[in-house]
Amino acid sequence: MAHLAEHGAIAAGHELTARAAVETLHAGGNAVDAAIAAAAMACVVEPVLAGPLGGGFAVVQRDARAEPVFCDFFSQTPKRRNPRARVEAAEADFGDATQIFHIGPGTVATPGVIPGFAELHRRHGRLPWAELFAPAAEVAERGHAVSHFQAGLLRIIEPIVTHTESVRALFAPSGRLLEAGETLRNPGQARFWRLMATSGLEAYLNEVGSLLLAEAGPDAGGHLRADDLADYRVHWRAPLHAVLHAAEAEAWLNPLPAASGVLIALALDWLERHGEEAMAADAACEGSAVCARAQALDFADARRRAADHDLTKLLADLPASWRGTTHISVVDAHGMVCSMTVSNGEGNGRMLGDFGFMPNNMLGEEDVNPAGALHFREDVRLSSMMSPVLARRRDGARFALGSGGSNRIRSALLLVLARLLHDMAALEKAVRAPRLHVEEGFLDVEPGLPPSDVTALKKAFPRHRFWSRPSMFFGGVHAVMLGADGRLEAVGDFRREGVGVVV
């Protein structure tokens, strides 16, 4: 197999996820092949963050001259609501904050991951379909050591991963949750990826689909029916193109119906128009760029709530030229870039037969379905906060990045983009810098900011919480850079045990 030495870069949320992409590039695959192989591996080694019955997005740019395109394979609401659907609450404990998630058969939306992989491969793949899933099947079969981050994540959402006997059998086989260093074996998921390799979409719709309907159909307390699976479609969309004139930069963001791109674009545009005055000595921020960025996030969040989550109303606030919850970023030897974000929510608390993974709980995610699991609009794409991003800086450097992190995704990406494009920061510095998030006027802040920024933030946001340590609560941005001189960099976010590899 040809070795593409120093001609590719990968950033992902786990060493084995990144390794699957590396092996794919070494075998002659391109960035899309590598991203698919890595995402399949993420379902094995990041099993709460990613799953074969979740949803996602990918943005692909063939080379520096090509127009980026967005592939939307996110979850769809069922065609018909079941008024007797069963939904249960589970509380996740992040340490300095808690968050309520909803699980159960009534929270499962129509999944899109496997149809999305198939469509991405049809349009852009190079290697045979079956080769992309071999690394995931092998690791699932032999087992892998649970990482410190994954062990911590299991503890955070313990009520979900111990909710039923079938889930406990995987994550707590001895009666307690698996700990870091212990081996997680998942022969059921190995069988799934081998089935996908040999039979693809036909097996997904038939064998896997029949199990999903048994677990999340009306008779089981869910909403899904056979036509939901049969009629699901992957959509190719033009990205939301943000042109930052002051920074001489541009970014390509997730378009409607996703929420993330519009909200990030609103915050970027606010910084373009008001950033300097927000930092003025007589303003609340008193020279703090971090504070100005917090105000930009607050503005976008307030506009969303004023529009009652109708994101089409927010497009009118953008310049006309802009209209248009693990992550994997890959650039290959030919300059093709693929940025892919996938999510399973947190899982619905029940295993799908003996396949070794949970269906999604997207209908129970407030940030993508504010109406709740019993009152959603039927047969529409859920409005995700996920946004794989491509960006170009004035020095010619190209970036691919994205993040997990529920409704904190927009804050994580806005801050990293601002540091990369406005501050011209190095990639690692931009990813590692302290983060903040603003929701309904309430400010959350990681430690590590200079005292002057802390003072300005406290003055501008009287309702605040300053965290004692960095946290996965603030997302996990995994990013790669292709410099104008061909130099490659890759950075995985330490908040989520991310890995960056240049090969």
Residue 111 lies in a domain: yes
Supply the range of the domain harboring residue 270.
240-326+386-502
Amino acid identity of residue 321, one-letter, is S
Q: What is the pLDDT of residue 313?
A: 73
CA distances from 432 to 15, 176, 232, 409, 470 (A): 18, 33, 38, 15, 10
Q: What pLDDT score does 285 carry? A: 87
Average pLDDT of span 297-312? 85
* Structure-token pair, residue 415: 């801050």
Regarding whether 402 and 498 lie in a shared domain, the answer is: yes
248 and 223: one domain? Answer: no
What CATH number corresponds to the domain at position 473?
3.60.20.40
Q: Could you read off the pLDDT of 221-249 as tens digits, one per residue? A: 999 999 999 999 999 999 999 999 989 99
Residue 6 belongs to a domain: no
Q: Say yes or no: 355 and 320 in one domain.
A: no
Does a structural domain hold residue 372?
no
Q: pTM for the full model?
A: 0.94
pLDDT at 286: 81
Q: How confident is the model at residue 316 (pLDDT cuts 50, 70, 90)?
A: low
Q: Could you tell me if 100 and 185 lie in one domain?
A: yes
List, for residues 345-359, the tens digit of each pLDDT value.
Answer: 889 999 999 999 999
**Number of domains composing the chain:** 2
Whether pLDDT at 5 is above 50? no
Residues 226, 244, single domain; the answer is no
Name the range with the highest mean pLDDT among 146-150, 367-371, 405-409: 146-150
pLDDT band at 94 (very low <50, low <70, confident <90, very high): low
Rounded Cα–Cα distance for residues 326 and 45 (Å) = 11
Q: Is residue 464, in this structure, part of any structural domain at all?
A: yes
Residue 17 a catalytic site member: no
**Half-sphere exposure (Cβ direction) of 198: Cα atoms closer than 13 Å:** 7
Say yes or no: 260 and 153 in one domain. Answer: no
Q: Does residue 3 carry a pLDDT above 70? A: no
* Statement to judge: residues 289 and 346 lie in one domain: no
324 pLDDT band (50/70/90 cuts)? Answer: very low
User: Which spans in 179-288 are helix H?
Assistant: 187-203, 209-216, 226-230, 260-278
Asked whether residue 93 carries a pLDDT value surpassing 90, the answer given is no
Q: Do 69 and 167 reside in the same domain of the chain?
A: yes
CA-closest candidate to residue 97, choices 478, 464, 492: 464
Q: What is the DSSP letter of 377?
A: P
Same domain? 223 vs 250:
no
Q: 17, 24, 77, 325: which is the annotated catalytic residue?
A: 325
**Pairwise pLDDT comparison (280 vs 220), residue with the higher score:** 220
